[in-house]
C-alpha cells in the first residue's frame, strides 16, 4: 500500500531539514506538496507518477519562468532520490529528468523611488528592517527570515548569515542596520508562533516585502538584493568580493551584475574622445551629395 501523501512529505521534510537550510527546505517541500496535490487531482500517487506525468506537471501547472520550472524540477528530483534511498520506490525517477536550461539573467535592481515609497508604507520596525537587510546587506528573503539577534556582532560590526546549502558566511554589518538593530529585543527579528522554527518563513517575508513595494511587478525582496549588488559593484568593481557578500557558489552567477550596469557602460562609452575630423568628413560628404542632387 502506498503511504499517505501527508505522512510521506512530513518524513521527507524532516530528513532534508537535517542538512539543508530552512529556506531550501521550504522551497523543496512547497513544490513536492504541489506535485502530490497534482497527482491526487489526477487520481494518482506521487510515487506512481511516470516521467510523462512530471513533464505534464512542469508544463501545465508550473509558471512559465524557466527559473521556476528548474526549481520545481530540482525539488522533485531531490524527493525521488530520497524516496529511492528510503525504499519507497525501486526506481529513481529523477534519473530520467531532462535538463532545464535557463537564460543568464540580468539584474533587476529596485529603484530608489520604490524603496522610498515602501518606507512610507512601513507600520512596524520589522518592516523597515526587512527593507534594510535586502538593500544594505544583500540578503535573500530566506536568509533574512531566520535572523536572530545572536547573529549580529555589533562590537566587531559583523553579521552571521546562513544561506543556501546551510552554508554560513560572515558579512560586514552596515552602520544603518546596526543602528536599526538597537530597536529590537533579544530573539528572532521576525518571530512566528505558527512556525516550529520560531521565525517566519522566507515566503511569508517575501509577501510582506512585495506589499511594502506596492505589488509592482518584478519589485520584490530579490530586487532589493539586486539593488545591493549593482550599487556595491558600482562603488567597487571587485567581483570576487561581491560573490562572497552575496553568498554565490560561483563567480559566474555574480557576473550578471558586471554585465548590466547601464550607468557604468554609458560612462565607458561616453569617455571615448570625440575626434573633430570624424564629423567634419561626414559633413563634407553629406554636403557634396546634396549639391549633386540639386
The dihedrals phi and psi of 182, each to the nearest 5 degrees, come to -60, -15
CB atoms near residue 134 (< 10 Å): 27
Which own/partner pairs from 232-240 qualify as long-range (CB within 8 Å, at least 24 positions apart)?
232/138, 233/257, 233/258, 233/261, 234/261, 234/263, 234/264, 237/264
The residue annotated as part of the active site, out of 28, 174, 210, 248, is 248
Average pLDDT, the chain: 90
Cell of 109: 535592481
Say whether pLDDT at 121 is over 70: yes
Q: What is the pLDDT of residues 57-78, one digit of tens each?
A: 999 999 888 888 999 999 999 9
pTM of the entire structure? 0.71
Say whether pLDDT at 234 is over 80: yes
Q: Region 108-136: what's the mean pLDDT?
A: 96
Burial 112-122 (b: 16+ CB within 10 A, else e): eebbeebeeee
Among 189, 235, 227, smallest CA distance to 208 is for: 189
The residue annotated as part of the active site, out of 81, 169, 207, 222, is 222
Q: Which residue has the higher pLDDT, 37 or 96?
A: 37
DSSP string, 124-152: SHHHHHHHHHHHHH---HHHHHT-BGGGE
Compute the distance between CA of residue 87 and CA of residue 76 in angstroms, rounded to an integer: 16
Compute the distance between CA of residue 211 and CA of residue 121 in angstroms, rounded to an integer: 9
Task: Using the structure block, give the residue that is written with the C-alpha cell 575630423.
Answer: 277
The residue annotated as part of the active site, out of 31, 80, 136, 257, is 257
- How would you classify the pairing of strands 168-172 and 152-153? unpaired
Active site (annotated) includes residue 194: no
Q: What is the pLDDT of residues 154-209, one digit of tens each?
A: 999 999 999 887 889 999 999 999 999 999 999 999 999 988 889 999 999 999 99
The residue annotated as part of the active site, out of 164, 178, 203, 264, is 164
Say whether pLDDT at 260 is over 60: no
Active site (annotated) includes residue 257: yes
Say whether pLDDT at 265 is over 70: no
Cell of 66: 524557466
pLDDT at 186 (0 to 100): 97
pLDDT at 211 (0 to 100): 97
pLDDT at 261 (0 to 100): 59
Active site (annotated) includes residue 222: yes
Q: What is the 3-state secondary structure of 263-294?
A: HHHHHHHHCCCCCHHHHHHHHHHHHHHHHHCC
pLDDT at 215 (0 to 100): 96
Active site (annotated) includes residue 174: no
The residue annotated as part of the active site, out of 5, 28, 73, 140, is 140
Say whether pLDDT at 1 is over 90: no
Q: What is the pLDDT of residues 75-114, one digit of tens each?
A: 999 999 999 999 999 888 888 888 887 666 778 999 999 9
29 CB-near residues (< 8 Å, 6+ apart): 9, 12, 13, 16, 75
Q: Cβ(13)–Cβ(135) under 8 Å?
A: no
Question: Using 50, 70 and 90 to split pLDDT, how confident is the model at 250?
Answer: confident
Active site (annotated) includes residue 278: no
The residue annotated as part of the active site, out of 5, 73, 208, 225, is 225
**pLDDT over 70 for what percent of the chain?**
95
pLDDT at 294 (0 to 100): 65
Active site (annotated) includes residue 225: yes
pLDDT at 96 (0 to 100): 87
Q: What is the pLDDT of residues 11-28, one digit of tens each?
A: 999 999 888 888 788 899
Amino acid at each position: 500500500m502506498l503511504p499517505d501523501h501527508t505522512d510521506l512529505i512530513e518524513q521527507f521534510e524532516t530528513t532534508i531539514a537535517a542538512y539543508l537550510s530552512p529556506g531550501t527546505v521550504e522551497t523543496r517541500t512547497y513544490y513536492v506538496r504541489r506535485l502530490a496535490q497534482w497527482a491526487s487531482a489526477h487520481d494518482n500517487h506521487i510515487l506512481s507518477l511516470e516521467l510523462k506525468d512530471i513533464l505534464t506537471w512542469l508544463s501545465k501547472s508550473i509558471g512559465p519562468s524557466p527559473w521556476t520550472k528548474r526549481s520545481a524540477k530540482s525539488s522533485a528530483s531531490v524527493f525521488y532520490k530520497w524516496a529511492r534511498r528510503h525504499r519507497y520506490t525501486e526506481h529513481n525517477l529523477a534519473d530520467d529528468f531532462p535538463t532545464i536550461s535557463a537564460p543568464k539573467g540580468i539584474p533587476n535592481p529596485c529603484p530608489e523611488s520604490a524603496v522610498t515609497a515602501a518606507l512610507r508604507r512601513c507600520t512596524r520596525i520589522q518592516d523597515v528592517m526587512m527593507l534594510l537587510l535586502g538593500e544594505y546587506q544583500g540578503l535573500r528573503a530566506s536568509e533574512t527570515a531566520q535572523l536572530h539577534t545572536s547573529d549580529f556582532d555589533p562590537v566587531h560590526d559583523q553579521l552571521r548569515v546562513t544561506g543556501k546549502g546551510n552554508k554560513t558566511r560572515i558579512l560586514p554589518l552596515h552602520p544603518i542596520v546596526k543602528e536599526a538593530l538597537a530597536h529590537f529585543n533579544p530573539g528572532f527579528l521576525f518571530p512566528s508562533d505558527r512556525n516550529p522554527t520560531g521565525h517566519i518563513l522566507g515566503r511569508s517575508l517575501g509577501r510582506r516585502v512585495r506589499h511594502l513595494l506596492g505589488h509592482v511587478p518584478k519589485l520584490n525582496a530579490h530586487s532589493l538584493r539586486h539593488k545591493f549588488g549593482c550599487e556595491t559593484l558600482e562603488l567597487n568593481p571587485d567581483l570576487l568580493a561581491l560573490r562572497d557578500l552575496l553568498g554565490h557558489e560561483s563567480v559566474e552567477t555574480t557576473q550578471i551584475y558586471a554585465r548590466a550596469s547601464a550607468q557604468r557602460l554609458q560612462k565607458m562609452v561616453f569617455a571615448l574622445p570625440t575626434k573633430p575630423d570624424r564629423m567634419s568628413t561626414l559633413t563634407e560628404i553629406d554636403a557634396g551629395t546634396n549639391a549633386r542632387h540639386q
